[in-house]
Structure 1
Amino acid sequence: MINKIATSVAEALHGVRDGATVLIGGFGTAGIPNELIDGLIEQGARELTVVNNNAGNGDHGLAALLKTGRVRKIICSFPRQADSHVFDGLYREKKIELELVPQGNLAERLRAAGAGIGAFFTPTGYGTDLAKNADGSPKETRVIDGRPYVLEYPIYGDVALIKAERGDRWGNLVYRKAARNFGPVMATAAKRTIASVFDIAELGTLDPETIVTPGIHVSAVVKIARVATQAGGFKEAA
């Protein structure tokens, strides 16, 4: 019987190794799998390469992971915001590497990894420093129909940490609105995908038309708590 439900975050994260490339879903604070990030901090893997749209907010979630000093490199589109002081400090002290990737390129490089595409040409970044490799050498370019393009390669992950709204024991996932963001493409780009969900659905009760990430792309599903706020809404548990 296929059952991908993990009994705890620690169980779901077991085996994440030092030096792993970790894809972490989220757009700003929307859809960030904070419980899985906290679990990764407790798990203790080091020398990580993290891929996310941002580089952490405040002192929690991804920023808390960066603060541990166990992230060697971050690949993202928006490393600096008003509350990105953890990343700013590490970067200025040369304690973390940064690969800056335009947001559309980031999504497409992840999608290419999941789709088995070896590389692709994009006009984004042409003629800028983003069209250079980490060592300063120029990336391959080509003119197609009179327009210049830059060759970009897929981003593969050893593990993806994503947040969904609901999931079943086969790993099928349903997302909630903007919290969906990078989750679906990251799930396909990683060797192993771990999803946190607020609700576990009985097998067969999820409408197939609403399933965005099919279970074939998911390795483990772990349920997290959702608690009421004073305003009458809900949030995930601390």
Structure 2
Amino acid sequence: MKKDRFYAETGTTDELVYKSAIAFAFEYARQDVNIKKIVLLIGTKQNTGWFELLFGKDNVKHLFSGVKNENGPLLKIETKRTYQGGRDSSEIVITCGLDSIDIYEIDDYSSIAAIIVIPWLINGISKWLQTWSPIEFRTGKSYAAVQSNRPNCIVRMAMDDLSTINMSDGRVTHPLDKDRMKTTIRSLHKYEPSLNGSALLKYLVSELGWPIHVADEIERLIDTLQGGKSFKGGEMTGLQNYYKRWAEKCKENQ
């Protein structure tokens, strides 16, 4: 039986992502009269924070029993432990903050006509994404199409190294961390012709979960150098050593 698979490409999950996913599920159900239930699948009964913001705490309690919508399917919260599936192709499941291993366990249920995966972090569902190349439900683009614009391994390794800087308050403020950012971008600009600021910003936010202000600063540094200008701070020499180290890490991970 054909199953439609969707996901949300996000690094900052909030109640608005779930609101959009639920609206998408009801629209999907409106076009398929066989859909009888929309399941919000959570890890445990305690994982209801976003839904309490959306529906209110008292209404969330009712959702565990199921709430019937007029001329629409039942909306029900289930946990990994309680969900057992149902009749053939009669359900839409929205997974909420679950990782690939949990999603694989229910993905092949015959009762699921469509699955919408909302990750806590995009890295947590990478294996499932690579297996099925689902559709981003808000943009209509497949995961494979999105990946075609993904930074290459060397750029990703550089960003992994840079992820150790302090950005806990949503910005980079320490001078040494700022210098590391500038040195990294100088090295990539000099030796990596594929460097793309906008694609990198998207990767940093959606896959690594970086704060948007920090990712935006990275993009601005790239745009500055690619525009023929420069900036103060960071190392100016020995940049090839950084690039070689990232390239070696990529070879080790092949």
What's the TM-score once normalised by structure 2's chain length?
A: 0.29
Greater fraction helix = 2
Q: Which has the higher strand share?
A: 1
